[in-house]
Amino acid sequence: MTFVNKTCQIVINGDFFDVLESSSLMAVLVNNGIFNLKANGVSGQKRFGICGMGTCFECEVTLKNVGVRRACLLKTEPGMVVETGMTDG
């Protein structure tokens, strides 16, 4: 495992966060108390992932200029712009 002990800045819901590069995005979200990851497309109810391995799609967030991605599969990258609480349509 390569430990890149380098911080980078990412944006979550308009707020800036200094985080370690290549750390788990899920960890960053949860450690900052962000559990409202996705709004259900039918009811609008707030949802958070339940499986942690990419099958439930309940942790989908929007990455600016990239698209909708599962937060549990991602690692932080410099300049990442994350929006949570959106519906998947």
Which of 69, 81, 83, 85 binds other proteins (CB under 8 A)? It is 69
**Shortest CB 75 distance to other proteins, Å:** 5
16 near other proteins, rule: CB under 8 A: no
DSSP secondary structure string for all residues of 26-56: HHHHHHTT----EE-TTT--EE--SSSSSSS
78 near other proteins, rule: CB under 8 A: no
Nearest to 24 by CA among 46, 64, 47, 52: 52
**Shortest CB 35 distance to other proteins, Å:** 5
47 near other proteins, rule: CB under 8 A: yes
